[in-house]
Structure 1
């Protein structure tokens, strides 16, 4: 039976793997405003435990929702946890989903067996170095074209793909494959929820200074931080966040960008599986 949240929003979900002595995993996608595209991550883990994926409210294949907040989306995760019948879960978040996963664990501490924080932005001023690195990886005509397309509110399907490619290719460290990987992501026939993107980012920006670090400091569950050394989002900011957690490991993946499983699949798989196995004991 399809799942609907307590306020009536139907969420797209997909489950693979088989329950085991290891805690179940819930993958939390990024964006914000995008969709789950993490079959490869599920395949790295679902021989060890059950793995759940979902599209956040108003995003991808899930139903529409005017309500967009980090707190409400975290509540959705907890309602899914209960729906799937789990006492505790490992939340594996990527990009914005990493922030959401850590926030969930902070707000629902007794229900989080662990956090895997992949490609997040950490704390402090991450935008200034990220923007500089993106600009360095683009030509001036590419920057101009991205700005031009970003101002259009009636992009054609072809222009939408071009816009996504230009926005996403700087995320990859391997410059020879960056355009190919960006085109693969851009070709997904789902709309970006730009309203959700704006609202959720504004919500995070309204948090008081030190709020996320405080959530991290209060976590009792283990946290595994994974970051590509070639991600335009600086690892320094993520290390600063990691320093606040009681139990954490930090993995800087060499020669990898924002999607380290694309550029270092075997190393990333090893780190992911070790992280899950480290969440197997109750604290």
Structure 2
């Protein structure tokens, strides 16, 4: 990168084709986890993914801020020789995609925002729904683990499993996916999570929606899981303020491709085909 940071990236499909798709994972502080999503559309357009700096195999020990992560994506697009990309952002990645779009609208050919970004006081409702999906014992154990000054590897896995299993519509399968993710999506960069979370609270995307609406590409959509504990209803005011279509995936939570892969695949393919056709 321009500051000599090292970023691990991956490509799938024919990288000579344009436009290219870039998938932005969530967190912040998690490594890329969209490896199951990329193959759904890689025959339609090349798909790039990367570990954001400070996560996975992209080592970084400096301070984290949105402008640096936006610049990283510019550097990557230049390295890939991609003038304008179809951005697909999930969770926090949808926030990053939105901020990138405002800073560099000419580099965004189309944009699909999955399970985010949420506006308004959605956190209160999300916490309440998470608690509703947990037993009293699970809630107590999660608080105990969160309060530990240091955690062992097993304690970290237990904490993440408890924190993530309610993200899914089906609690039994949700526990399996959460436990699997707790071991694979590691290590978590808690410093990055805290620094970007603090900046997001100090400068919420909510206050930039008029600017974002002006910068949006001609093809932009929102996609959410109907059973996401981060209430899909929090995406409705965003859809209205940005004048974007909002598609709900029934029977799915915060990672809808796990519970309803066929529905997500169909939606992604329709979106990418439309974006590729528009560019052609």
Query: Which bin holds the TM-score, normalised by the shorter protein?
Result: over 0.9
Partner of residue 244, structure 1? 241
Segments of structure 1 that go 5 or more residues without pairing to the other structure are none
Instruction: State whether structure 2 residue 152 is matched by structure 1 residue 159.
Output: no
Please state whether the residue corresponding to 1:78 is helix, strand or coil: helix
Q: Deviations over 1:104-131 (max 9, x none)?
A: 1121101101111111142111101101
Q: TM-score, normalised by structure 1?
A: 0.94
Give the Å deviation of 1:158.
0.9
CA distance in 2, matches of 1:15, 1:209: 29
CA distance in 1, matches of 2:147, 2:264: 37
Partner of residue 87, structure 1? 83
CA distance in 2, matches of 1:208, 1:176: 34
Partner of residue 12, structure 1? 8
Partner of residue 144, structure 1? 140
Answer whether contact 1:103 1:212 (CA < 8 A) is retained: no
Partner of residue 65, structure 2? 69
Please state whether the residue corresponding to 2:79 is helix, strand or coil: helix
Partner of residue 279, structure 1? 275
Instruction: State whether structure 2 residue 249 is matched by structure 1 residue 253.
Output: yes
Segments of structure 2 that go 5 or more residues without pairing to the other structure are none
Give the Å deviation of 1:189.
6.3
Partner of residue 259, structure 2? 263
Moved over 2 A (4+): 19-22, 208-212
Question: Aligned runs of 1:49-128 on 2, under 5 Å?
Answer: 49-128=45-124
Q: Please point out which of 170, 175, 184 is paired with 1:179.
A: 175
Partner of residue 27, structure 1? 23
Answer whether contact 1:31 1:97 (CA < 8 A) is retained: yes
Partner of residue 41, structure 1? 37
Partner of residue 228, structure 1? 225
CA distance in 1, matches of 2:148, 2:56: 21
Q: Deviations over 1:195-222 (max 9, x none)?
A: 1001101111111674231233112312
CA distance in 2, matches of 1:152, 1:54: 31
CA distance in 2, matches of 1:208, 1:48: 34
Please state whether the residue corresponding to 1:48 is helix, strand or coil: coil
Aligned residue-pair number: 278
Answer whether contact 1:22 1:277 (CA < 8 A) is retained: no
- Aligned-CA RMSD value: 1.7
Answer whether contact 1:223 1:245 (CA < 8 A) is retained: no
Please state whether the residue corresponding to 1:244 is helix, strand or coil: helix
Give the Å deviation of 1:178.
1.1
Give the Å deviation of 1:46.
0.7
Give the Å deviation of 1:26.
0.8
Please state whether the residue corresponding to 2:193 is helix, strand or coil: helix
CA distance in 2, matches of 1:175, 1:202: 30
CA distance in 1, matches of 2:129, 2:191: 26
Give the Å deviation of 1:20.
6.4
CA distance in 2, matches of 1:203, 1:225: 23
Please state whether the residue corresponding to 2:109 is helix, strand or coil: strand
CA spacing shift, 1:209–1:53, aligned 2, 3 Å: closer
CA spacing shift, 1:241–1:178, aligned 2, 3 Å: same
